Amino acid sequence: MAAISDATAAGLNALARAKTGDPGARAHSLEPLPGHAGFSYSFILDRSGAGAPAGKLVLRIAPPGVKIAGPADIMRQARIMASLADTPVPVPAVYWYGDEPEFFGRPYFVVQFLESFKLGESTLPPEHLSRLAHKAIATLAALHDVPWEPRRAAFGDPFPLSEEMKRLDYLLDRPTLDPAVVARAPELRARLRQSLPASPRIGCVHGDFQFSNILFDETRPIALIDWEIALIGPTLLDLGWICFFADPASWVETGERRVRPLSAEEIVAAYAAAARFPVAADEVRWFRAFAGYRFGVITCFNLMLHRRGKRDDPHWEEVALSAPRMFGRALELLG
């Protein structure tokens, strides 16, 4: 979690006064929030006059000393959420974003704070969690139905599958990876290339759609969060991704608790029922296999960085126990 510095608190107060026009506006009660793509805080904004924003809000600041691109591009995330404000896709209200150096010295955004929970934190009965999970999958179908062309300025140009394959090649083709963890990844890569979908459906893609990135109240999803790797691309990337995490056959049992309110098959059925466009079973299987390959390669790469002391994160040691199974399961899905 990000510590709260005096400079951050002072910058936030300066921001609140500049944006509201209220010289007496005060931001207080800052609390760090979990986050891996920036420094995130909740805070209370007191101001004179009516209107939003006021009350409890969220501030996210880009991490220091990194290139403002990809997951660190805080302003892009804000633009994406703002572009979805008039759609059926629930997102936090975006109040301010920018990169003026006088506030934090790096980009930031301020959005609505939502009283909510994640499914993995809930003590609701399993049947209630299942209903909420079905609604989350319907929300995914709604995202994929949103016209992407008017939101191109926020998301960027369409990103083809071939480019993602090249990015994964860059991570996989390294002699410093552990061959026992890499396992059947090269075989899987060849099979994926041989069966690459010719013209997958394109739309707005969250990029990391899983239940931990959805906020709920007791009746429905109220916000999709963490848009760091969103893109315009093949929409089934999202469906394959959440199916991968829901599939026990892709994982070995460890001490890590995984939230699986629906099976992969139930997720696919719920998505197909909610979608207002055709969902081809053979393409779903390909994207499920691709998700296993994608996360498996990312695991191999991050494990290498950890073991070489370049990015200390022992969590990847546990995840890597499943990498060979991820690749094997993906080959099974490809038939």
- Looking at 112, 146, 171, the residue that finishes a domain is 112
**Rounded Cα gap, residues 260 and 87, in angstroms:** 27
Instruction: Give residue 259's pLDDT.
Output: 77
Q: Give the span between the Cα atoms of 266 and 133, in whole angstroms.
A: 10
Q: Read off the amino acid at residue 258.
A: R
Q: What's at 14, amino acid-wise?
A: A
What's the whole-number average pLDDT of the chain? 94
User: Domain range spanning residue 15?
Assistant: 6-112
Quick count: other Cβ atoms within 10 Å of Cβ 160? 13
- Contacts of residue 284, defined as CB under 8 A and 6 or more positions apart, other chains included, come to 236, 239, 240, 243, 268
Of 65-69, 114-118, 124-128, 293-297, which gets the smallest average pLDDT?
Answer: 65-69
In sequence order, the 6+-apart residues with CB closer than 8 A to the CB of 257 are 120
| Nearest partner of 97 among 227, 221, 212, judged by Cα | 227
Same domain, residue pair 88 and 131? no
Segment 146-197, tens digit of pLDDT: 999 999 999 999 999 999 999 999 999 999 999 999 999 999 999 999 999 9
Task: Write out 208-276 in H/E/C secondary structure.
Answer: CCCHHHEEECCCCEEEECCCCCCEEEECHHHHHHHHHHHCHHHCCCCCCCCCCCCCHHHHHHHHHHHCC
Q: What is the DSSP letter of 70?
A: G
In a domain, 1, yes or no: no
Q: Looking at the structure, tell me whether residues 172 and 315 fall in a common domain.
A: yes
Q: Do the domain assignments include residue 47?
A: yes
- Specify the DSSP class assigned to residue 54: -
Rounded alpha-carbon distances, angstroms, from residue 275 to 155, 272, 297, 302: 22, 5, 30, 35
Residues 6+ apart with CB under 8 A from 168: 189, 293, 294, 297
201, 235 contact by CB (below 8 A): yes
Mean pLDDT throughout 320-335? 97
Same domain, 219 and 283: yes
Lowest mean pLDDT among 201-210, 250-259, 288-297: 250-259
Q: What is the CATH number of the domain that holds 13?
A: 3.30.200.20
My answer on whether 142 and 194 are in the same domain is yes
The verdict on residue 272 lying in a domain is: yes
